[in-house]
Chain A
Amino acid sequence: MQLNIIEAINLALKQEMRKDKSVILIGEDIGEDGGVFRVTDGLAKIYGNERVIDSPLSESGIIGTSIGMALTGLKPVAEIQFEGFIFPAIDQLINHASRIRNRSRGRFNCHLVVRCPIGGGIKALEHHSDSPESYFIHTPGLKVVIPSSPYEAKGLLISAIRDPDPVIFFEPKKIYRAIKEEVPEEEYTIPLGKAKIVHEGSDLTMISYGSAIKTCKEIVETASESIELIDLRTLSPLDTDTIIASVKKTGKVVIVHEAQKTLGFGAEIIARINEKAFFSLQAPIERVTGYDIIVPLPKSEQYYHINKSRIINAVKKVMSNAI
């Protein structure tokens, strides 16, 4: 069936809730309203308000109580309405969700998924266009997933829901409805921690994730160079092997992400390439990222975001720098 990301996630939630009674949803406006992006539309009608819980407006409350519910054997999938509002809950995620297994030497764990829209490109208010993934990737004990398409979203979310550790599942809102593709009706999983080679190539490796994959794909499909495009899918844990194998083949790398540059995920990727494939490099690695500024309001938002020409320029630069 042809689905967009919202429909694919909705289907994944619906099927996992049918399959496993311990899967429950909690969040602001997710019940009757179906969530501000309608991701949970219709689920309260099917599963009732004790499994699709409309919560008070309280992000730390949502995550903190989800941790408690998880301790009863439930598998909460909590929704945080926008990434800019996840910060009241960051204490619960960093100080508790990620640490419960370690702190209790495996006696307790935190079987929890936090779904949250991420990124800009929808002409929204302040705090509705950010890319805060690095804060979470930096936290041991959390897993971080960012899908790039409807097919990816369904398979990755099902894996996240079945994973016994806390998973932050960021949904790129720019492509929520922008991509429609064939998504199998039946359930399937895409393993966490495994990247995907979206497009094979031999001249240059382009590494990206989330909404930027769509833009990158458009470039690599028409480029004169043979570009290998890697969709990381899971940022933590990272599939280093796929990156290194590709870099050893191409010797040239461009990294693309919407998040700010300093300590953005590109920095970590470069460090790992430096450790494992430095001598395969033929040119300095280029990063195409957001600038180290606050994402501007809609009238100037376009100046912040990565775009095709910036990516193409980076590819040209790396190609011409190659020794």
Chain B
Amino acid sequence: MEKIIEKFDVPYLQILDENGNCDEKLKPSISLEMIKKIYSLLILTRIFDEKALSLQRQGRIGTFPPIKGEEACQIASAILMENGDMAFPAFREHGVYITRDLPIEMLFQYWGGDERGMKIPEKVSVFTVSIPVGTHILHATGMAMGFKFQKKKNITLTYFGEGATSEGDFHEAMNFAGEFKVPVIFICQNNQYAISTPVREQTASQTVAQKAIAYGFPGIRVDGNDIFAVYKATQLAIQRARAGKGPTLIECFTYRLGDHTTSDDAKKYRGDVELKEWEKKDPIIRFEKYLTSKKILNQKEIASEKNKATKKIEESVKRYEKIQPENSEEIFKYTYASMTEELNEQLEQFKKEVI
């Protein structure tokens, strides 16, 4: 006997096209207030990014991974989190931190090389930056397992790139999530490059979204530069998760408009034509077209929004640069809950030798 025993579809969602045209039939239920809030966060994040790059060039912060182009994926999803939920970012998720209201000077502080920038305030429900690619995805699944076993209604979100989907921990996290049917939402920002490696050299899968099917839960590809598509897919995924229906994988198809980090030069591996093409698809440009055509905001209000954001960022830079260096002894103190005898001894020696 020979027959097809399974067949699958991979859905794609775009609501706001690159010219700002909105498919009203598909538009999510979203308040005007929320639309404006998302716009403010997009602008704030973009200006933060520009400022961080300029601070890095001046040696005022260290190596920095720019977010430009990927703001919609992060802001339109993280905005939907509720109290007690938790996001697990990789390292380019400045938009998630800003959306969840981490004081912006703490981002400068962390990227300026000070661990205290990741002493996340209690009210900010985002975990620390995770540098090793893909490893944090398991923490999101694990926390969702914890929520489920403790009968809590909370969910977790985790952000990673398409490069991370080649890592074993991505597989293990997806597999555990499917098997235990836990409330986690996997948000893959497919920006098409893992440093220099294009997605076509990363995997033979046509989409990242379809990988979810193998783990027994839905996957969807959305236009990652489309606020409404990201918002709607996340909204549905969160509803599913809170209803005990398990995880969802959302592939946000996007493009990294900047370099991988300030130590990278993307011109070495990708052409100008491609970059120009994607600059036209910028999530902010199309959203502004939409906002003005729908008369939600006028040019004056947009300009004032940008001024407000610039001022906010400048103030946070001032606060950042006023932060006193950490007492050098602190580098010993968080290795364990309490100092071991050996560490106390090394600290005493350190005080004699270094301070």
Could you list which residues of chain A lie within 8 angstroms of chain B, going by C-beta atoms?
24, 50-51, 53, 55-56, 58, 60-61, 63-74, 88, 91-92, 95-96, 100-109, 140-141, 143, 163-165, 193, 237-241
Are A105 and B119 in contact, CB atoms less than 8 angstroms apart? yes
Given contacts A60-B138, A143-B336, A240-B342, 8 further A-B contacts (CB under 8 A): A69-B143, A70-B142, A72-B150, A72-B152, A74-B149, A105-B334, A106-B333, A163-B337
- 3 nearest A-B pairs in the assembled complex, by CB-CB distance: A68-B142, A64-B138, A72-B146
Cross-chain pairs A/B with CB under 8 angstroms, 26 sampled: A58-B175, A60-B168, A61-B169, A64-B142, A65-B138, A65-B139, A65-B145, A68-B142, A69-B145, A69-B146, A69-B149, A71-B86, A71-B142, A88-B168, A96-B130, A96-B132, A102-B115, A103-B115, A105-B115, A107-B120, A108-B128, A140-B335, A164-B337, A237-B341, A238-B342, A240-B341
- How many A-B contacts are there with CB distance less than 8 Å? 143
Are B139 and A96 in contact, CB atoms less than 8 angstroms apart? yes
Q: How far is the CA of A55 from the CA of B177 in the complex (A)?
A: 11
CB contacts (< 8 Å) of B88 on chain A: these are 68
Q: How far is the CA of A32 from the CA of B156 in the complex (A)?
A: 29
Choose among A51, A55, A103, A143 the residue with the greatest number of B CB atoms under 10 Å from its CB: A103
Of chain B, the residue at the smallest CB distance from A111 is: B337
CB contacts (< 8 Å) of B141 on chain A: these are 64-65, 68
**A64-B173, A92-B138, A95-B135 known; A105-B116 Cβ under 8 A:** yes
Partner of A165, one of B139, B175, B337: B337
Are B135 and A91 in contact, CB atoms less than 8 angstroms apart? yes
The answer to whether B172 has its CB under 8 Å from any CB of chain A is yes
Q: How far is the CA of A275 from the CA of B139 in the complex (A)?
A: 41
CB contacts (< 8 Å) of A238 on chain B: these are 342
CB contacts (< 8 Å) of A107 on chain B: these are 118-120
Q: How far is the CA of A51 from the CA of B150 in the complex (A)?
A: 10
Q: Give the distance to chain A from B144, nearest Cβ to Cβ, in Å.
A: 7
The answer to whether B340 has its CB under 8 Å from any CB of chain A is yes
Q: Give the distance to chain B from A186, nearest Cβ to Cβ, in Å.
A: 26
CB contacts (< 8 Å) of B132 on chain A: these are 91, 95-96
CB contacts (< 8 Å) of B149 on chain A: these are 24, 50-51, 53, 69, 74
CB contacts (< 8 Å) of A67 on chain B: these are 138-139, 142
Interface of chain B: mostly helix, strand, loop or mixed? helix
Q: How far is the CA of A88 from the CA of B135 in the complex (A)?
A: 12
Q: How far is the CA of A58 from the CA of B336 in the complex (A)?
A: 27
Of chain B, the residue at the smallest CB distance from A106 is: B334
Task: Count residues on chain B whose CB falls below 8 Å from chain A CBs.
Answer: 45
The answer to whether B176 has its CB under 8 Å from any CB of chain A is yes
The answer to whether B147 has its CB under 8 Å from any CB of chain A is yes
Are A103 and B118 in contact, CB atoms less than 8 angstroms apart? yes
The answer to whether B140 has its CB under 8 Å from any CB of chain A is yes
Q: Give the distance to chain A from B182, nearest Cβ to Cβ, in Å.
A: 9
The answer to whether B179 has its CB under 8 Å from any CB of chain A is yes
**A69-B146, A107-B119, A237-B341 known; A64-B168 Cβ under 8 A:** no
Are A141 and B172 in contact, CB atoms less than 8 angstroms apart? no
CB contacts (< 8 Å) of A109 on chain B: these are 337
Are B173 and A61 in contact, CB atoms less than 8 angstroms apart? yes
Are A68 and B334 in contact, CB atoms less than 8 angstroms apart? no
Are A64 and B334 in contact, CB atoms less than 8 angstroms apart? no
Q: How far is the CA of A140 from the CA of B342 in the complex (A)?
A: 11
**A64-B135, A71-B139, A96-B139 known; A56-B179 Cβ under 8 A:** yes
Of chain A, the residue at the smallest CB distance from B124 is: A107
Q: Give the distance to chain A from B349, nearest Cβ to Cβ, in Å.
A: 11
Q: Give the distance to chain A from B86, nearest Cβ to Cβ, in Å.
A: 7
Q: How far is the CA of A74 from the CA of B144 in the complex (A)?
A: 12
Are B147 and A102 in contact, CB atoms less than 8 angstroms apart? no
Of chain B, the residue at the smallest CB distance from A105 is: B119
Q: How far is the CA of A104 from the CA of B88 in the complex (A)?
A: 14
Are A64 and B143 in contact, CB atoms less than 8 angstroms apart? no
The answer to whether B127 has its CB under 8 Å from any CB of chain A is yes
Q: How far is the CA of A102 from the CA of B115 in the complex (A)?
A: 8
Are B335 and A64 in contact, CB atoms less than 8 angstroms apart? no
Interface positions, chain B 314-355, Cβ under 8 Å from A, are 330, 333-337, 340-343
Q: How far is the CA of A56 from the CA of B216 in the complex (A)?
A: 14
